[in-house]
Structure 1
Amino acid sequence: MPFQIDDQTKKDLDIFGTYKSGKSIFDLFNLSTCKGGQDKLYRFLAEPMTDLEKIKERKEAVLFFQHHVTSRLIIDKDALDYAVYYLKDRGSSIRRASKVWSAERKIMNTLNPTESYYVVKNGVSSMIVILKSLYEFSLNLVNEEKANHCPILLKKDNDKVLEIFALSEFQSALGLKSLKAYDIDVYDSIFRHSQSRNIQFLINLIYEYDAFQAIANAADKYNLCYPEVLPKSANCLELEGLFHPFVEDAVANDISFGGESNLLFITGPNMAGKSTFLKALGVSAYLAHAGFPVPAKSMRLSLISGLCTTINISDDLHSGYSHFYAEVLRVKYVANQLKENNNLLVIFDELFRGTNVKDAYDGTLAIVSAFARIKSSFFVISTHIIEAAESLSANDNISFRSFEIREVDGHPTYTYKLKDGISTDRLGMYIIRKERVVEMINEVLTTEPKSENIETNN
């Protein structure tokens, strides 16, 4: 079963496109060397997995590159780019080679230089540079395998690489010290015809290694950890030191729920950190199922089959939907998804913010109570309607956390730290008073020009 995720969730979490921050999760990891590696990285991130073994294999491959910096694959970007261009350029293809013919062609090109000969000569030369680098890395993997350090995924590919390099055509190419005219024609025929399928396999593998190395570089750069993904039956979601990678000097939080308590209800005033926390949680769950490292100190979670978030939903002017109606349709969409797949992580930020307080209270109470009865999925819901949380507090299946607010010199201060329980903080009027909004409106009266009554005598 493919990992279930929709465009709204990818948008909420800024996986590829950007919403407000001007960044994307893909951008964070895109430290690849070449375009092919970038495309491979995109595909890795675009397709989270639900197969535990495949998740583990990718994670271990990336971890290997992070821990073996000195023995990584050295990618000559210029040589690789030219080699790829050369392989696609069929207009300069050579299908026959003889020493006499090659010598004549070289002389003719010296007298009258042609682009096609230049493409072949430099393409063959670039390919040999790339092959030698890959072969050296392949031998390093053999040594790592002997020391039991080589991940399964890399070993599988490396076995095929060694088979290819054992072929006489590749052995002779690896032994070349310089390229003669005849060699150029011979290896052009090999690279683009007789061994073209093996060449494409090796190029694709270089792209894959480049993507792994990019992910490993990001793990170092942003201090990411490698999650432990457990079987579905483990029914747990635990994070220590969770943070959002877009936030500079982010405050980290710990979270743990599962078992009989599979719904997390978060309260706190506006700007306390609820939305950022929910995005960080969603991003981490997404990355874990793509086999990527996550923004946390540690993470353990049971395998889920999909992720659905509602964080940045807006009204749909084209369809004539109000914000509230769009929220209702989103809840309906989630309900339909749960019918088909009851192993999801569902995240709602400020449920029913688009309607009046009474309807928001009633709606939140009804929907959260219904979600709490579904024990096979995880739910994380935030609200600033404290009364709804208090009415739900008797439900043993719901865990309550809130964002802490401290008073410093008579003023509330955001700590962005989660604590147990339900928030009782109400800062709306404090912010209105702090910004002198009412006073500014009243000042309009003192600056408004007085109307003059002009009497006219007829």
Structure 2
Amino acid sequence: MSFQIDDQTKKDLDIFGTYKSGKSVFDLFDLTTCKGGQDKLYKFLSEPMTDLEKIKERKDAVLFFRNHVTSRLNIDKDSLDYAVYYLKDRNSSVRRASKVWSAERSIMNKLNPSQSYHVVENGVNSLVNILKTLYAFSSNLSKEVEDSNFPLLLKKDNDKVLEIFTIEEFQNALKVKSLKPYDVDVYDSIFRYYQSRNIQFLINLIYEYDALQAIANAADKYNLAYPEVLPRSANCLDAEGLFHPFVENAVANNVSFGGDSNLLFITGPNMAGKSTFLKALGVSAYLAHAGFPVPAKRMKISLISGLCTTINISDDIQSGYSHFYAEVLRVKYVAAQLKENNNLLVIFDELFRGTNVKDAYDGTLAIVSAFARIKSSFFVISTHIIEAAESLSANENISFRSFEIREVDGHPTYTYKLKEGISTDRLGMYIIRKERVVEMINEVLTTNPEDINIENNK
């Protein structure tokens, strides 16, 4: 079963697109050195997994490069780019070469330099150097790393590399010191025809190593942790020091729920940190299932089959949908997904914010109560409607958290820290007064006397 995720969720979490933040999760990890490595990284991140063994294999491979910095593969980018360009170019390739033909071609090139000859000559030389580097890397790995410490995924690929280099043509390539014209044509036919499948495997493996090393580098750069993904039966979501990687000097929070309490209900006033926290949690769950490190000090999560968020939903003018109707359709969509797959992480930020308070209260109460009964999935829902949280407080399936507000010198201060319980803070009117909104409107009357006359004539 593939990991279930839709475009709305990817957009909410900024996985690939650079939306309001100007950043994407992909950008954070894109420390690759070549285009092929970048493409491989994109593929890794775009396909979260539901197979515990495969998740562990990728995580262990990244961890290996994290812990064996000296064992990392260093391929010259320019040589690799040229070799790939040469392999794709078929305008001047030969299947069989002879010494006489090669000598004549070399002489003709000196008399009348040819771009196609230059591509082959430099491409073969670049590829020979790459093969030498890759063989040295793989040989060192097999000597330095015990089988017990060698991730299965890397060991399997490394064994295949060493097996390829037992082939006579590859052994001879390792001994090359300088290539004569005939040698260039011989290796050209080997690389682009007779051993093209093995050559392509080695190039793809270099891309994969580049992507894995980039992930490991990003983990160090952003202080990310390697999560533990547990079997579905563990039914837990436990994170310590969770933070959003886009936020500078982010305040970290702890969150833990599962078992009988499968729904986390979060309250707090606007700007207290609810949306940022929900995004951090969603990003971490996504990354964990892609086999990537996560923005936290520590994280355990039981295997889920999909992720669905509603954080930045908007109205649909073309379809004639209001914001509220778009929200209702989104809840309906989630219900349909749960019917097909009841092992999801569902995140809603400010449920039913697009309607009046009464309908929002009633709708929140009904939807949250229904979600809480589905114990095979996790739900995280935020609201600033305190009354809804208070009405749900007797439900044992729901855990309540709120974002703390402290008063300093008579003014509220955001701590961005998650705490137990339900928030009773209401800061809407405080913010309106602080920004002098009403006063500014009233000042219109003093600066526009005609408005006063109109008012007096009524």
TM-score, normalization by structure 2 = 0.98
Provide the C-alpha distance between the structure 2 equivalents of 1:340 and 1:137, rounded to a whole number of angstroms: 47
Provide the C-alpha distance between the structure 1 equivalents of 2:146 and 2:183, rounded to a whole number of angstroms: 36
In the alignment, what sits opposite 2:179? 179
3-state DSSP class of the match of 2:91? helix
How far off its partner does 1:76 sit?
A: 0.8
In the alignment, what sits opposite 2:50? 50
Alignment of 1:69-218 (within 5 A): 69-146=69-146, 148-218=148-218
Provide the C-alpha distance between the structure 1 equivalents of 2:79 and 2:452, rounded to a whole number of angstroms: 82
Provide the C-alpha distance between the structure 1 equivalents of 2:449 and 2:327, rounded to a whole number of angstroms: 45
Provide the C-alpha distance between the structure 1 equivalents of 2:23 and 2:258, rounded to a whole number of angstroms: 32
Provide the C-alpha distance between the structure 2 equivalents of 1:411 and 1:341, rounded to a whole number of angstroms: 47
In the alignment, what sits opposite 1:8? 8
In the alignment, what sits opposite 1:279? 279
Task: Describe the shift of the 1:379–1:81 C-alpha distance in structure 2 as closer, same or farther (beyond 3 A).
Answer: same
How far off its partner does 1:322 sit?
A: 0.1
3-state DSSP class of the match of 2:188? helix
Could you list the per-position Cα deviations for residues 174-199 of structure 1 after superposition, in whole angstroms to 9, with x for gaps in the alignment? Answer: 11111111110110000000000000
How far off its partner does 1:92 sit?
A: 1.4
Could you list the per-position Cα deviations for residues 381-423 of structure 1 after superposition, in whole angstroms to 9, with x for gaps in the alignment? Answer: 0000000000000001000000000000100000000000000
Provide the C-alpha distance between the structure 2 equivalents of 1:178 and 1:149, rounded to a whole number of angstroms: 38
Task: Describe the shift of the 1:451–1:45 C-alpha distance in structure 2 as closer, same or farther (beyond 3 A).
Answer: closer
How far off its partner does 1:451 sit?
A: 7.4
Q: Letter of the 1:168 partner, please give it.
A: E
In the alignment, what sits opposite 2:384? 384
How far off its partner does 1:150 sit?
A: 1.4
Name which of structure 1's ranges 103-112 and 428-437 shifts more when overlaid on structure 2. 103-112
CA contact (8 A) 1:145 1:155 kept: no
Provide the C-alpha distance between the structure 2 equivalents of 1:59 and 1:325, rounded to a whole number of angstroms: 41
CA contact (8 A) 2:75 2:130 kept: yes
Aligned length: 453
How far off its partner does 1:452 sit?
A: 11
CA contact (8 A) 1:33 1:75 kept: no
3-state DSSP class of the match of 1:90? coil
Q: Letter of the 1:275 partner, please give it.
A: S
3-state DSSP class of the match of 2:276? helix
In the alignment, what sits opposite 1:456? none
CA contact (8 A) 1:241 1:297 kept: yes
Q: Letter of the 2:216 partner, please give it.
A: A
TM-score, normalization by structure 1 = 0.98
Provide the C-alpha distance between the structure 1 equivalents of 2:35 and 2:24, rounded to a whole number of angstroms: 18
Could you list the per-position Cα deviations for residues 7-35 of structure 1 after superposition, in whole angstroms to 9, with x for gaps in the alignment? Answer: 00000000001220000000000110100
3-state DSSP class of the match of 2:450? coil
How far off its partner does 1:449 sit?
A: 2.8
3-state DSSP class of the match of 1:3? coil
Provide the C-alpha distance between the structure 2 equivalents of 1:311 and 1:83, rounded to a whole number of angstroms: 45
CA contact (8 A) 1:261 1:399 kept: yes
Correspondence 1:365 to 2:365: yes
Provide the C-alpha distance between the structure 2 equivalents of 1:192 and 1:451, rounded to a whole number of angstroms: 82
In the alignment, what sits opposite 1:423? 423
How far off its partner does 1:146 sit?
A: 2.9
Provide the C-alpha distance between the structure 2 equivalents of 1:276 and 1:108, rounded to a whole number of angstroms: 66
How far off its partner does 1:265 sit?
A: 0.1
Correspondence 1:227 to 2:224: no
Provide the C-alpha distance between the structure 1 equivalents of 2:313 and 2:129, rounded to a whole number of angstroms: 51
Correspondence 1:244 to 2:218: no
How far off its partner does 1:133 sit?
A: 1.1
Q: Letter of the 2:102 partner, please give it.
A: S
Tell me, which stretches of 5 or more residues in structure 1 are unaligned? Answer: 454-458
Q: Letter of the 2:423 partner, please give it.
A: S
How far off its partner does 1:147 sit?
A: 5.9
Tell me, which stretches of 5 or more residues in structure 2 are unaligned? Answer: 454-458
Q: Give the 4+ runs in structure 1 shifted more than 6 A.
A: none
Correspondence 1:32 to 2:48: no
Q: Letter of the 1:406 partner, please give it.
A: R
Q: Letter of the 2:336 partner, please give it.
A: N
